[in-house]
Chains A and B, each alone.
Chain A
């Protein structure tokens, strides 16, 4: 092939996005599509499983028998926490790398091999679970043993994901070398880079966990139950930190796309991302605070991410994201009073409402409760109670999954080039999911405070040698939990329906349809806000500051301090133990 042919081929692999003006690489675009579609498929599996779980834990219904409850619980955990979320994150990496940087996708064939490994591994693991060969729950703590193919499926999946993070790093190098952008990478790409680095660290822990476990399941080596718990959570918790870095990046992305939200200070936001890389992997300790294998110094140092520097990072983003939105709205003229920018925000745009709900649920509900139960001593009154799933549904489902849903309302028109189907439902979907999830999480936390265990088929303890009587309020809270859980699952299933009908039957997004303001086009695409603000207006607005955000974070801080010290007080009533 001569040079001209090369150039023609190169040109043909790109299209120019009519909305953003970005040069979109078709290889990257196809990989985004494939990974996003599979993410939605696994979300569907996980959401259907969730319905079974909610209807079983709600003791008045108690739908599934014990074996199927634990089987479906295993399925739900893996499909939601690993398959759905990581497939979506792969799509985020293909988007934030080549597409945002106007660059080509290096070695797309390798991306398809990774895709094959990941989907093959996930399907293998799911089949083994449904055959009843792996009733070991998400954590599969040895000596509880699953079929070897269960572990092998997860290993395939992890290898595939590791390849994709490698391709993302390669894309950054290629873009830099071929000078496809000027200056530094955008903050969104920087955030995705953090996610990719944490992912690489996490997946190495994944190998250290699952490869020995796979060998052990075939009877080849011995395993130590405590060492497994340490390594597993270096995978299990760190993978949630990939999510944090990814969904914080999406908050910044959607803030820009929906309302022209700005980056108040690049230095602050980037250093905050850097803190995630440096400290967040220490969170394995959160799961081992009342374990016999480690001493207090190890627990205190690691559970606090070396003196809470990763918490500091999240508190920084919790300020800079809403502050950037406020500043963006003020620059667009919404300057009246303290909260005009918030009142007049596009709440009917699911990209915006989903992002804001994700921010609030992650911060107030997920973040605060997480720091509190991750405190060494307070963990004594929380470990393995319903407070745990209450906390992490707020972070992972309310924070990460909701942010992913919100950004999908922009991925569908911008990448799939379709108008979003079932648009009236799409506009309320984030609210259904967010309100359901908040209700569910809060009732789980409350049940946990009353001592209700997590991962438990029957809290009436039928046939146990001693009767356990829970306070009657537990059964009232369970009903609230049931309704919240069903609402959350409805929100997730509506999302799946919207995504699937759009991808397969959606009407194409054309310049004409944008002009005519047809249904199914988010506000940020109908009226694209400026991504760069210039002019005499900028400096005075900047100097006037973000008083609305200041009030919001003050409320957040008050809740945080109150909840933290109330928990110490509760702890002090217990038996002396040490």
Chain B
């Protein structure tokens, strides 16, 4: 390390050559921070390969009216009942499941089986909504004009709620849906 005859604050214009060697402690910290940044980065691709939770999905554009029609067909195919005026739908294992967000409800109620894979499609009939599965705390953005198809496998039975967590107007707080997972 070189000799240092002068030190100044950050309000002083430095004169002469200030491109000088870095003190040892600072150098060690920068090295540790850099390695840590590379670990932070590597974790994401690694989780795509080894981890079970990724937001990739099968993504595509869809006209809101078309998505509504697909959801209606899905309900007509697999409806098993009604709850609070909302159809309850039990799709077969491995099938495409359509969930529609609209001001201000989630449509329909879903009945799924534990340890079974489905492709859950999310989209909106009107404006942005937020899919938040409670109490699992699994969150996805629901954007009108886009179909977000996520491969899901429920890992425990239970009676879950879908909370809307993207502001969607005055009755946003009433937008609660339901997912039932059976053994």
> A residues bordering B, Cβ < 8 Å?
20, 66-67, 70, 100-101, 135, 137, 141-144, 181-188, 191, 224-226, 229, 249, 252-253, 255-257, 260-269, 288-296, 299-300, 303-304, 307-309, 311-312, 315-316, 319-320, 323-324, 327-328, 331, 371, 375-377, 379-385, 449-451, 453-459, 461-466, 468, 471, 531-534, 538-539, 542-543, 545-546, 549-550, 553, 557, 560-561, 564, 568, 571-572, 574-578
Distance A461 CA – B152 CA, assembled complex (angstroms):
27
- Quick check: B3 and A319 within 8 Å, CB to CB? no
Within 8 A of A (CB), among B81-110: 84-86, 105
CB pair B44 A323 closer than 8 Å: no
Q: Supply 17 further A-B pairs (C-beta < 8 A) apart from A181-B13, A300-B45, A311-B37.
A: A141-B127, A266-B19, A291-B146, A323-B26, A324-B10, A328-B9, A376-B54, A377-B55, A457-B173, A465-B84, A532-B9, A534-B5, A542-B4, A543-B1, A572-B53, A577-B52, A578-B150
Give every chain B residue within 8 A of A457 (Cβ-Cβ).
Answer: 172-173
**Chain A min CB distance to B169 (Å):** 7
Once bound together, how far apart are the Cα atoms of A453 and B105, in whole Å? 16
Closest to B131 in A: A290
Instruction: Report B133-163 CB contacts with A as 1/0, cut-off 8 Å.
Output: 0111111110111111011111100000101
Contact code string B161-182 (vs A, CB < 8 Å = 1, else 0): 1011111111111111110000
How many chain B residues touch A (Cβ–Cβ < 8 Å)? Answer: 95
Contact A377 B51 (CB under 8 A): yes
Whether the pair A455, B138 counts as a contact (CB closer than 8 A) is no
Check A545–B25 contact: CB distance below 8 A: yes
Which residues on B sit within 8 Å (CB–CB) of A533?
6-8
A312 touching B34, Cβ below 8 Å: yes
Q: Give the complex CA separation of A465 and B24 in angstroms.
A: 63
Interchain CB contact under 8 A, A308 and B14: no
Q: Among the listed B4, B22, B44, B148, which residue makes an inter-chain contact with A377, where contact means beta carbons less than 8 Å apart?
A: B44
Some 26 contacts from A to B, beta carbons below 8 A apart, are A135-B170, A141-B127, A188-B10, A257-B9, A260-B9, A262-B8, A263-B8, A267-B19, A289-B55, A315-B29, A327-B7, A376-B54, A384-B141, A385-B137, A450-B135, A453-B164, A455-B172, A462-B174, A533-B8, A550-B29, A571-B53, A575-B136, A575-B153, A576-B152, A576-B155, A577-B153
* The one of B132, B135, B173 that contacts A461, using a Cβ cutoff of 8 Å: B173
Nearest CB of chain A from residue B31's CB, rounded to whole Å: 11
| B64 shortest CB reach to chain A, Å | 10
Q: Does A572 lie within 8 Å of B51, measured CB to CB?
A: yes
Q: How far is the CA of A577 from the CA of B55 in the complex (A)?
A: 7
Assuming the contacts A188-B11, A264-B23, asked whether A451 and B134 have C-beta atoms less than 8 A apart, the reply is: yes
Q: Are A384 and B139 in contact (CB under 8 A)?
A: yes
- Contact partner, B148, options A292, A308, A384, A385, Cβ 8 Å: A292
A292 touches B170 (CB 8 A): no
**Distance of A335 from chain B, by nearest CB (Å):** 15
Give chain B nearest CB distance to A346 CB in angstroms. Answer: 15
Q: How far is the CA of A377 from the CA of B46 in the complex (A)?
A: 11
Give Cα A18–Cα B178 distance, bound, in whole angstroms. Answer: 69
Query: B48 at the A/B interface (Cβ < 8 Å)?
Result: yes
Q: Which residues of A contact B105 (CB under 8 A)?
A: 465
Q: Smallest Cβ distance from B36 to chain A, in angstroms?
A: 7
User: Is the Cβ of A381 less than 8 Å from the Cβ of B161?
Assistant: no
> Please, which residues of chain A bring their CB within 8 A of the CB of B20?
265-267
Chain A residues with CB under 8 Å of B173's CB are: 66, 456-459, 461-462, 464
Give B60 Cβ to nearest chain A Cβ, in Å. Answer: 8
Number of A-B contacts (CB under 8 A): 350
Q: Which residues of chain B have C-beta atoms less than 8 A from A137's C-beta?
A: 167
**Residue on B with the closest CB to A331?**
B7
Residues of A within 8 A of B175 (CB): 464
**A-chain residues with CB within 8 Å of residue B4 when the two chains form the complex:** 538-539, 542-543
Closest A residue to B51 using CB positions: A377
Are the C-beta atoms of A144 and B132 separated by less than 8 Å?
no
Q: Which of A191, A224, A307, A531 sits near B9, CB closer than 8 Å?
A: A531
List residues of chain A with CB within 8 A of the CB of B136: 451, 574-575
Contacts of A316 in B (CB 8 A): 29-30, 33
Contact status of A292 and B176, CB under 8 A, knowing A371-B40, A377-B44, A538-B4: no
Which of A70, A308, A454 has the most chain B CB atoms closer than 10 A to its own CB? Answer: A308
Q: CA of A500 to CA of B151 in the docked complex: distance in angstroms? A: 57
Do the beta carbons of B165 and A377 come within 8 Å of each other? no
Residue of A nearest to B28 (CB): A550
Contact B10 A187 (CB under 8 A): yes
Q: Identify A225's interface contact among B33, B145, B177, CB under 8 A.
A: B145
Most chain B beta carbons < 10 A, residue from A462, A538, A576: A576
| Assembled-state Cα–Cα distance A112/B72 (Å) | 59
For residue B162, give the distance in angstroms from its CB to the closest CB of chain A. Answer: 9
Q: Is the CB of B54 within 8 A of A577?
A: yes
Neighbouring B residues of A292 by C-beta, 8 Å:
57, 59, 122-123, 141, 143, 146-148
| Residue with the greatest number of chain B CB neighbours at <10 A, chosen from A253, A307, A379 | A307
Q: A226-B145, A262-B7, A466-B178 are in contact. Are A456 and B172 (CB under 8 A)?
A: yes
The answer to whether B174 and A381 touch across the interface, beta carbons within 8 angstroms, is: no
- Contact status B53-A532, CB under 8 Å: no
Quick one: which of B38, B122, B139, B143 contacts A229, CB cutoff 8 A?
Answer: B143
Residues of A within 8 A of B71 (CB): none
Q: Once the chains are docked, how many angstroms separate the CA of A478 from the CA of B122? A: 31
Contacting A381 at CB < 8 Å: which of B139, B152, B177? B139
B78 contacts chain A at the CB level, 8 A cutoff: no
Out of A261, A295, A327, A576, which one reaches B59, CB within 8 Å? Answer: A295
Q: How far is the CA of A334 from the CA of B19 in the complex (A)?
A: 28
Contact of A182 among B15, B37, B40 (CB under 8 A): B15
* Shortest Cβ distance from A137 into B: residue: B167
| Contact residues in A for B168 (Cβ distance below 8 Å) | 144
State whether A384 and B130 are in contact (beta carbons under 8 Å apart), knowing that A290-B55, A456-B173, A575-B152 are contacts in the complex.
yes
Contacting pair B161 A466 (CB below 8 A): yes
Q: What is the bound-complex CA distance between A415 and B85, given in angstroms?
A: 66
Distance (Å) between the CB of A388 and the closest chain B CB?
10
A295 to B88, CA, bound (A): 32
Q: Which residues on the B side are within 8 Å of A299 (C-beta)?
A: 55
Question: A577 to B146, Cβ gap below 8 A?
Answer: no
Q: How far, in whole Å, are A575 and B110 apart by their CA atoms in the complex?
A: 15
Q: Evaluate contact between B11 and A307: CB separation under 8 angstroms.
A: no
Chain A hits for B138, CB < 8 A: 380-381, 574-575, 577
